[in-house]
Every structure is written in structure tokens, then in C-alpha cells.
């Protein structure tokens, strides 16, 4: 069949795939593999790598058609880092062999991904990271030593996107190099970080003499900041700009409690709920407009605004739910240590959601850093004074 680059052609391709692979009876991995091979995974990706070279704006129609047919999809909580961050970065900077090796098992869920970016001394200021990558004399391999922190899914991951310090003698935004790291490689140690919820969905990861082939490098040596920026822009859209229905997410849970428990209502809380509902709907529609804008290009700093709003709203809505329920909302049923196989904001009790939402303003870029990005790159306000801009990383105070 000729490449279906039109909306009608894509609909035909979806129908053809559904006829060949019953979405109800076909195993999930097999169905997703067939969808990838047909170019209907990421339709704007190149032919042979899950796409058809079609306009990105047509992707939502393809997704809707598969969803309407009950087709399986990967759990975004478990596979969101791979789908939303690793895949677009591999597409942008990976060579043909790298794309061929990693994109298909990422899409089918055979391989789980995590992100090795933040460090104990380099969270909000990612460019200050110190995890060291030293290249062998023959140039074929690198040895990596360092510590990463706040790593979601590291305990389940097969692969990681990793940014390192390869040249400490130049300013911090230069001298960084980006790799794909095998999480099962010798020298990779994952330790749980227990949260206020009792869960340990985050981890700290220690890298001790980890050997990484140069073939698993993305981008040029020393150009890791540019590669990492591509990842971060996609991450913020994935967190704050994901498609949700009206009253999706936490606002729907709070509204349900309001409808089902009339004895809890007060005029003051009614005003608060209306304001939050309007804010949530405005954020949802803004996210939809952002996704439409992204259909013609790569994510930019606008995704920071979506992620900032997501964090603020989740914290305010979860706080409202506790205030509405009063003492009943303070109950927390399980403080035992848990290792979830996926992060979730909407599960559990109101007390759980209140505690978990506190992390939303830290993960994926702190709200303070996002405000700086919006001020400087969207509003065009004067940049903050950066005294370390031209100082070699090795000379920076720590």
C-alpha cells in the first residue's frame, strides 16, 4: 500500500491494521509491534522507525481511532519517560542504528526507561552536574562514575537517558555528553528513596566504573546540554500538556466528592471549587492548544507554563479536597514501604493525593526554574545575572 500521508489515507491504514490484528484478542506487545511496523506509532517519525513522515498534526486522529476500537496502549506511568522523553531525543540525535535498536522495543513496552539527570548537587541547576565520563584512549568506550537522584522507575528500568560531565575544564553548559545507559550494566546500583506517602517510586542511582560504548552516545561530545534541553522540553509537555477530558485528573475527583456529599458543602468552599474548576478547564484547553502548536514543530519553552500550571493546580485541588472532607480527609491508610511499578497521582486516598502533589512542583523541573524560563524565553524579560557563565566547571565553588 502506498504511504498514507493524508487524513483519509491514515484512516484506511488504521482500519487495515485493526482488521488484521483484533485489538481485543491480540497480545498487547504483538499489536503494538504491528502498529509500529505499519508506521502508526508516531506518524511524524521516519518510515521504518514507527512513522510515515506524515504531518504531526494528524497523530491525534490516529490515536483517537485506535482508542475508539479498544486498542491497547502502554501505561503512561510506567512508560512515560520512554515514550515522552527518550523516543523524541533518540529521533533527534540518534543515528540509524540507534533508532533501529531502541525505538521499537521502547514503543512495544519490551524495555522500560528512566532518566539519569538530577544529582544531589545539581537539581534545579542541571548544568552543574558532576557525574564524570572519561573516554578510553581508543575512543570506543567511556567509563562513568557519579551519583544521580530522584530517578523515577530506575528499579524497573532496562535503559536510561544519562547526561554526564566529560570536560570539567570548560564552562558548565559546555563539556557535557549524553548517553544511553544500560541499567543492568555492572557498576549500576539503584537504592530506593522513600517519600512522605510511604512509597519509593523515586530512587538514587550510583554509577561506579560503568562502561558505556561510544555507540550509545547521543549528539556530539561536549554537546550534552543541547541534547538534554530537547529531552527536558519534551518532558514538560509530557507532564503538563497531556490530553485529558473535561473534569479529568484531580478536579474530577474533587467535583465527585462535592456532588456525592452535599452535607460537606459550604458557600465558601463552593466558590473555591468553582475557581479551581475554571482554572483546571483553562489549563486543559491551553494544553490542547499547545499540542496543536507542537504539531508543526518541536516543544519549546511554552511547555514550562503547562507544567507549572499542572503543579500548582494539583496542589491546590488536593488541598481543597482535604478541606472539604475535614477530619475524614486526614486519614491515611497505609504508611508501609512500597515499590510501585508506576507513579500515580490519582490513586489512593485524599490524604495520599495531598502528599503526592507536593512533589509536582519539584519533578520535571522546579516551579522556580520554570518561572525563570517563562520570564526570559517567553516574555522576553531581562535575564538573571549569571556570574558563572564563563567560568570553567572545575573552578566553580561547591
| Structural domain spans, the chain | 7-108, 113-227, 228-378
| Residue 366: half-sphere exposure toward Cβ, Cα within 13 Å | 10
φ, ψ at 135 (rounded to 5°): -85, 140
Instruction: Please determine, for residue 199, whether its predicted confidence score (pLDDT) is greater than 90.
Output: no
Q: Tell me the CATH architecture of domain 228-378.
A: Up-down Bundle (1.20)
Query: For the chain, where are the E strands, in sequence order?
Result: 113-116, 132-135, 141-148, 159-165, 176-182, 188-193, 202-213, 217-218
Among candidate residues 235, 302, 346, 384, the one labeled active-site is 235
Q: CA–CA separation, 309 vs 279, rounded Å?
A: 9
pTM given for the model: 0.85
246-294 pLDDT per residue, tens: 898 899 999 999 999 999 999 999 999 999 999 999 988 887 777 666 6
Q: What is the CATH number of domain 7-108?
A: 1.10.540
pLDDT at 302: 67
Q: What is the CATH number of domain 113-227?
A: 2.40.110.10
Bridge partners (DSSP) of residue 113 are 159
Residue 302: active-site member:
no
Residues 100 and 238 sit within 8 Å (Cβ to Cβ): no
Instruction: Please determine, for residue 333, whether its predicted confidence score (pLDDT) is greater than 80.
Output: no
Residues 254 and 316 sit within 8 Å (Cβ to Cβ): no
With cell 500548582, the residue in question is 312
Amino acid at each position: 500500500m502506498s504511504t498514507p500521508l493524508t487524513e483519509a489515507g491514515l484512516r484506511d491504514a488504521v482500519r487495515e491494521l485493526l482488521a488484521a490484528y483484533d485489538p481485543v484478542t491480540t497480545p498487547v506487545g504483538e499489536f503494538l509491534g504491528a502498529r509500529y511496523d505499519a508506521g502508526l506509532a508516531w506518524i511524524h517519525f521516519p518510515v521504518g522507525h514507527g512513522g510515515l513522515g506524515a504531518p504531526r498534526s494528524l497523530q491525534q486522529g490516529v490515536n483517537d481511532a485506535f482508542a475508539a476500537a479498544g486498542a491497547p496502549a502502554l501505561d503512561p506511568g510506567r512508560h512515560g519517560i520512554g515514550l515522552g522523553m527518550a523516543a523524541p531525543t533518540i529521533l533527534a540525535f540518534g543515528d540509524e542504528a540507534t533508532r533501529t535498536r531502541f525505538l521499537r522495543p521502547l514503543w512495544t513496552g519490551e524495555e522500560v526507561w528512566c532518566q539519569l539527570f538530577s544529582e544531589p548537587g545539581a537539581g534545579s541547576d542541571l548544568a552543574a552536574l558532576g557525574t564524570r565520563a572519561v573516554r578510553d584512549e581508543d575512543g570506543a568506550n567511556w567509563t562513568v562514575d557519579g551519583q544521580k537522584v530522584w530517578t523515577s522507575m530506575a528499579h524497573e528500568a532496562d535503559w536510561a537517558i544519562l547526561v554526564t560531565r566529560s570536560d570539567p575544564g570548560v564552562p558548565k553548559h559546555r563539556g557535557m555528553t549524553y548517553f544511553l545507559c544500560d541499567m543492568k550494566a555492572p557498576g549500576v546500583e539503584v537504592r530506593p528513596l522513600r517519600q512522605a506517602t510511604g512509597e519509593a517510586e523515586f530512587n538514587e542511582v550510583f554509577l561506579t566504573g560503568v562502561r558505556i560504548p561510544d555507540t550509545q552516545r547521543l549528539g556530539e561530545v561536549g554537546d550534552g546540554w543541547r541534547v538534554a534541553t530537547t529531552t527536558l522540553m519534551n518532558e514538560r509537555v509530557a507532564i503538563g500538556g497531556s490530553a485529558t477530558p473535561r473534569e479529568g485528573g484531580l478536579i474530577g475527583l474533587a467535583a465527585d466528592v462535592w456532588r456525592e456529599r452535599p452535607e460537606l458543602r459550604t458557600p465558601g468552599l463552593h466558590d473555591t471549587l468553582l475557581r479551581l474548576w475554571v482554572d483546571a478547564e483553562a489549563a486543559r484547553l491551553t494544553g490542547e492548544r499547545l499540542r496543536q502548536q507542537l504539531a508543526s514543530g518541536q516543544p519549546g519553552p511554552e511547555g514550562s507554563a503547562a507544567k507549572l500550571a499542572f503543579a500548582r493546580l494539583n496542589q491546590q485541588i488536593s488541598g481543597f479536597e482535604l478541606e472539604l472532607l475535614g477530619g475524614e480527609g486526614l486519614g491515611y491508610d497505609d504508611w508501609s514501604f512500597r515499590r510501585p511499578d508506576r507513579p500515580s497521582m490519582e490513586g489512593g486516598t485524599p490524604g495520599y493525593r495531598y502528599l503526592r502533589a507536593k512533589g509536582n512542583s519539584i519533578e520535571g523541573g522546579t516551579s522556580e526554574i520554570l518561572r525563570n524560563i517563562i520570564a526570559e524565553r517567553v516574555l522576553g524579560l531581562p535575564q538573571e545575572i549569571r556570574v558563572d557563565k564563563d567560568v570553567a566547571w572545575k573552578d566553580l565553588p561547591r
